[in-house]
Structure 1
Amino acid sequence: MGSKPCKLKTKDRINMRIETYIPGLSKNTIEIVKHAESLGYDALVSGELNNEPFLPVLLGLEHSKKMIVRTGLAIAFPRSPMTVANMGWDLQSFSDGRFQLGLGTQVKGHNERRFSVPWSPPAPRMREYILAVKAIWNTWKTGEKLDFQGEHYTHTLMTPMFTPPPMDCDVPPIYVSGLGPGMARIAGEVADGLLLHPMCSPKYINDIILPAVIEGAKKSNRDPKECELLWGGFIATGETEEDLKTAKRNVAARISFYASTRTYRPALDFHGWGDINEALHKLSVEGKWEEMFALVTDEMVETLGFCGTGEEVANSLKDDLGPICSAAMWNEVEHLGADHSKDEHVSHLIQIAKG
């Protein structure tokens, strides 16, 4: 990895949770869930790419016994806070407290042109969104009158007919996804955790993210340790030189996609790679994907990602992320639910990474 462990600690945890993805809803989802839990994963995460994120969560909760299951992430602005509050309440009640709500903003183009949602500055809007969801949950939990009035969202009507049954557990924790200090401050102020963008290196987390989380926490008189950091970045493992080379190329392809987005340029500027953003953006518009991969250097892959043998990566996750992150994403099994050939090895690596 080449990065020293971060010095600023935000949590008092002995072990770091190791998480993996549910790759959308399929006929194999139940097998994937059971396989992941048998390997020792602590959590399953359902994203929103070419799929709806909440349906896999329901199956994940139904067919696991102990694992946390989270949306990671569900795009917030196309959904009403009331709709999300309902889904979160139901999933949390159904699972006896194992659901986590992960939210993200997506970028301007996707909101306006894919979801047909008006765009506004995302950090203050996300802050209001989280507060709206919490206000709705508070009304359902306490019976207090619903009276949330913000710039973007207004919720002032709730009747007994539309109030869900009581829960025997706490409301779900809310995590927000972010790359820059603005969203990190919002997480520190009002969220239960920050889902770190894949472009966040350990040094970037330490120098940019953590100070912003602490600043946000101070604004609401919270202990920064109340805001967990969850890492979901790049990993390349290989037990042979050739396998590692292939894995690093796959990581380079993912980095080239993110690094072509102008919104993510600050993370590149931090490492002195800002100039590559414009070149990658131009190639992406032209659809020249192979040429994009070639612009991503080994230095970028090794700085932004964890690379090496399985045991080397497991120890690096433990040493570099363990002091600051409550969880790390590691998809070491390419075909969960189908490929059991590496089960013993993967379980061993997960235990090392947990610390």
Structure 2
Amino acid sequence: MRITYGPWGETIDEMADAARRAERAGAEVVWIPELHRSATVPLAALARATETAQLGTGIALAFTRSPMVQALEALDLDEISGGRFILGLGSGVQRLNEDWHNARFGKPVAHMRETVRNIRAFWAEAAGGKPIDLPGTHEPMRIRGYQRPFHQERAAIPVYLAAMGPAMTRLAGEIGDGWISHELHSPQYLADAILPGLSEGLARAGRTRGSLDVVASVLCAIDDDPAVARRWAAGTVGFYGSVRTYADFWAAHGMAAEHDAVMAAFRSGAAADDLAGAAPDHMVDAVTAAGTADDVRRRIMAFDGIADSVKLSPSTHGVDPSVTRLCQDRIIDLIATL
């Protein structure tokens, strides 16, 4: 099982330093999400700060850039990093796409299929100047008279897909080089809800299980007092608990009522980053690794034999940056022992 890490920083320099330290501790991939920063620009800085770790978008929003822009940014980052880039894509939720980005959402599974198809076609054909003519409901692509004249590090870059719902999970197994879990996750959910769908997608494409990197995300909060660690992690649990789309995820953990309570607190006017108080300890324990260093190590290793990789990250929502920084330092120290 590979140990990978999602570095945090109030500045990109701090993020790059965390990536460098995580790599030295043994992290094999560093991942950058897309929300408060873009997923791609910071990776250019991390490429210069690291030497061996792969660099992944974990995840970039698939529908807010055109497939051609996604493909070009991926080629640039692969060149900067010397062939270490992974393009991780996710659909996001409809409101985020349409209200925040004025982007088309449509039928997300079909949309994602066409997006990945176009990106890979561009990588394969743009250097040779061959015409690209791909019909589609969501992302038709027609390119004539174009040839990219620059160095291309690799003809194909790994594409990982984030998925929670069954249809998108099957698609990840069918067309992805990897699958990435949501930031909140559990070994039970991976084994019972995700792996069967991935296996179905792999079977559709005639692929073997070894062709897919299954990446389980583990949100970590480490303190000698487990109660303190749980409260640090509770802010992120509350933040995502405010999203109605994740109802099936919480129901699968037997926590539909707890999810409803977080949603009610959000509807009553609480900010998404101020919902830690609405997330009880047992809800936190179900989907994070919060506790002493030994507690967190055990939680991480519970994915061994189920996941191929784990993506560790510190608590970020509803806590002061000094807490996130402390969690990050403790996680990097823990990586060196795994």
Pick aligned residue for 2:242 from 254, 257, 260: 260
Partner Cα separation in structure 1 for residue 185 and residue 18 of structure 2: 28
TM-score with structure 2 setting the length: 0.88
Question: What SS does the aligned partner of 2:196 have?
Answer: helix
Pairing 1:303–2:268 present? no
Pairing 1:288–2:275 present? no
What is the one-letter code of the residue matched to 2:166?
A: P
- What residue in structure 1 maps to residue 174 of structure 2? 189
Structure 1 residues 91 and 159: alpha-carbon distance in aligned structure 2, compared to 1, 3 A threshold? farther
Partner Cα separation in structure 2 for residue 291 and residue 148 of structure 1: 45
Partner Cα separation in structure 2 for residue 168 and residue 198 of structure 1: 30
Partner Cα separation in structure 2 for residue 272 and residue 340 of structure 1: 31
Alignment of 1:187-226 (within 5 A): 187-226=172-211
Structure 1 residues 347 and 253: alpha-carbon distance in aligned structure 2, compared to 1, 3 A threshold? closer
Partner Cα separation in structure 2 for residue 313 and residue 27 of structure 1: 27
TM-score with structure 1 setting the length: 0.84
Partner Cα separation in structure 2 for residue 286 and residue 234 of structure 1: 27
Spell out, residue by residue over 1:145-172, the C-alpha distance to the aligned partner (whole angstroms, 9 max, x if none).
3222111112221435x42434343522
Aligned residues of 1:173 and 1:192 also touching (Cα < 8 A): yes
Partner Cα separation in structure 2 for residue 117 and residue 340 of structure 1: 37
| Bigger mean CA deviation after superposition, 136-145 or 126-135 | 136-145
Aligned residues of 2:2 and 2:308 also touching (Cα < 8 A): yes
Structure 1 residues 143 and 311: alpha-carbon distance in aligned structure 2, compared to 1, 3 A threshold? farther
Structure 1 residues 96 and 207: alpha-carbon distance in aligned structure 2, compared to 1, 3 A threshold? same
Which sections of structure 1, spanning at least 5 residues, go unmatched?
A: 1-14
Pick aligned residue for 1:89 from 61, 64, 75: 75
1:88 CA drift (Å): 0.6
Partner Cα separation in structure 2 for residue 126 and residue 341 of structure 1: 34
Aligned residues of 1:315 and 1:352 also touching (Cα < 8 A): no
- What residue in structure 2 maps to residue 229 of structure 1? 214
Aligned residues of 1:24 and 1:56 also touching (Cα < 8 A): no
Aligned residues of 1:92 and 1:171 also touching (Cα < 8 A): no
> Identity of paired residues, percent?
26
- What residue in structure 2 maps to residue 148 of structure 1? 134
1:268 CA drift (Å): 1.0
Structure 1 residues 341 and 279: alpha-carbon distance in aligned structure 2, compared to 1, 3 A threshold? closer
Partner Cα separation in structure 2 for residue 95 and residue 218 of structure 1: 33
Partner Cα separation in structure 2 for residue 219 and residue 329 of structure 1: 27
Spell out, residue by residue over 1:109-148, the C-alpha distance to the aligned partner (whole angstroms, 9 max, x if none).
1111111123312122112211111111121366653222
Aligned residues of 1:252 and 1:301 also touching (Cα < 8 A): yes
1:347 CA drift (Å): 5.6
- What residue in structure 2 maps to residue 274 of structure 1? 256
Partner Cα separation in structure 1 for residue 193 and residue 71 of structure 2: 31
Q: Which has the higher contact order (CA 8 A, sep 6+)?
A: 1
Aligned residues of 1:194 and 1:228 also touching (Cα < 8 A): yes
Spell out, residue by residue over 1:277-314, the C-alpha distance to the aligned partner (whole angstroms, 9 max, x if none).
33322321332259843332222221212233213322
Structure 1 residues 98 and 299: alpha-carbon distance in aligned structure 2, compared to 1, 3 A threshold? same
Partner Cα separation in structure 1 for residue 41 and residue 27 of structure 2: 20
Partner Cα separation in structure 1 for residue 332 and residue 290 of structure 2: 19
1:106 CA drift (Å): 1.4
Structure 1 residues 205 and 82: alpha-carbon distance in aligned structure 2, compared to 1, 3 A threshold? same
- What residue in structure 1 maps to residue 115 of structure 2? 129
Aligned residues of 2:230 and 2:291 also touching (Cα < 8 A): no
- What residue in structure 2 maps to residue 314 of structure 1? 297
Structure 1 residues 177 and 28: alpha-carbon distance in aligned structure 2, compared to 1, 3 A threshold? same
1:86 CA drift (Å): 0.6
Structure 1 residues 168 and 47: alpha-carbon distance in aligned structure 2, compared to 1, 3 A threshold? closer
Alignment of 1:242-261 (within 5 A): 244-261=226-243
- What residue in structure 2 maps to residue 177 of structure 1? 162
Pick aligned residue for 2:27 from 26, 41, 54: 41
Pairing 1:325–2:307 present? yes
What is the one-letter code of the residue matched to 2:239?
A: F
Partner Cα separation in structure 2 for residue 182 and residue 245 of structure 1: 37
What is the one-letter code of the residue matched to 2:163?
A: G
Aligned residues of 1:311 and 1:349 also touching (Cα < 8 A): no
Pick aligned residue for 1:117 from 103, 106, 109: 103
